[in-house]
Amino acid sequence: MQATPTAARASSVAIAAVSVYLGGWGIYYAIQDTARRAAIRSRRRKYPLQPRPAGLVPTRARSASVASTASTSEEHVEGSEELPNARVVERASPKSADVHQHMRWYGAASAIEHQSIRSRFAPLTILGRYLNPFAEWREVGAWEFLYWKVIYTPLRYPSRLVWDGGLAKDLESEEGRKKVNNVLPVKRLDRQKLWGHEEGWEVVSSDASLPPPCAKATGTTFTWIGQSTCLVQMNGVNILTDPVFSPQPIKSIFSPTRMRPPPCQIEDLIEERGRIDIVLISHNHFDHIDVSVIPKLSPETCWVVPSGVRDLLERHGVLPEQITELEWWEQSMADVEVPARNTSGTVSHVDRKVTVNAVPAMHWTGRDLLGVNRSLWNSYVVRVGGGSQDEPGLREASFFFCCDSGYSPLMFSSIGRALGPIDVAAVPIGSYMPLWHMSIQHCSPSDAVQMALDVGARQAFGTHWGTWSMSDEAWDEPPKDLGKALDEQGLSRKYFRTLPFGETVDVIIHGK
Ligand X SMILES: *[C@@H]1O[C@H](CO)[C@@H](O)[C@H](O)[C@H]1NC(C)=O
- SS3 call for 69: coil
Q: Does 128 participate in binding ligand X (rule CB under 6 A)?
A: no
Binding span for ligand X by CB under 6 A among 10-18, 131-139, 396-404, 472-480 = 131-139
CA distance 187 to 183: 12
User: Would you count residue 372 as binding ligand X (CB under 6 A)?
Assistant: yes
Measured in residues, the chain has a length of: 512
Residue pair 37/124 in contact by the 8 Å Cβ criterion = no
Contact pick of 373, 444, 489, 498 for ligand X (by CB under 6 A): 373
Tell me whether strands 504-507 and 220-226 are parallel, antiparallel or unpaired: antiparallel
Binding of ligand X at residue 282 (CB under 6 A)?
A: no
Distances (CA, A) of 291 to 12, 258, 367: 43, 17, 12
Question: What mask, x for binding ligand X by CB under 6 A, covers residues 6 to 45?
Answer: -----------------------x----------------
d(CA 407, CA 361): 9
Choosing from 132, 153, 218, 408, the residue that interacts with ligand X (CB under 6 A) is 132
Instruction: Give yes or no for residue 131 binding ligand X (CB under 6 A).
Output: yes
Q: How far is the CB of 138 from ligand X (least distance, A)?
A: 8
- If we measure between CA atoms, which residue out of 464, 429, 468 comes closest to residue 250? 468
Contact with ligand X (CB under 6 A) among 43, 120, 129, 285: 129
Please pick, from the candidates 50, 206, 348, 389, the single residue that binds ligand X as defined by CB under 6 A: 348
Q: What is d(CA 180, CA 169) in angstroms, rounded to the nearest whole number?
A: 11
What angle, 0 to 180 degrees and rounded to 10, lies between the N-to-C axes of helices 111-120 and 409-419? 140
* Closer CB to ligand X, 110 or 344, in the complex: 344
Please report how close the Cβ of residue 374 comes to ligand X at its closest, in angstroms.
9
CA count, 13 A, side-chain hemisphere, 353: 9
User: Residues 481, 486, 488, CA angle at the centre, nearest 5°?
Assistant: 95
Residue 139 binds ligand X, judged by CB under 6 A: yes
> Minimum distance from CB of 139 to ligand X (Å)?
5
Shortest spacing between CB 37 and ligand X, in angstroms:
11
> Counting contacts by CB under 6 A, is residue 364 touching ligand X?
yes
Prior bond of 434 cis (ω within 30°) = yes
Q: How many whole angstroms separate alpha carbon 188 and alpha carbon 191?
A: 9
Answer yes or no whether residue 407 interacts with ligand X by CB under 6 A: no
Residue 101, class by beta-carbon neighbours within 10 Å (0-12 exposed, 13-18 middle, 19+ buried)? Answer: middle
Q: Nearest approach, Cβ of 348 to ligand X (angstroms)?
A: 5
Q: Which stretch binds ligand X (CB under 6 A): 92-100, 133-141, 144-152, 426-434?
A: 133-141
Q: Which of residues 314-343 bind ligand X (CB under 6 A)?
A: 342-343
Rank residues 103 and 376 by Cβ distance to ligand X and give the closer one: 376
Distance CA 83, CA 268 (A): 47
Residue 60 binding ligand X, by CB under 6 A? no
Say which DSSP state 491 is in: B
x/- map, 70-109, ligand X, by CB under 6 A:
----------------------------------------
List contacts with ligand X (CB under 6 A): 29, 129, 131-132, 137, 139-141, 342-344, 346, 348, 364, 372-373
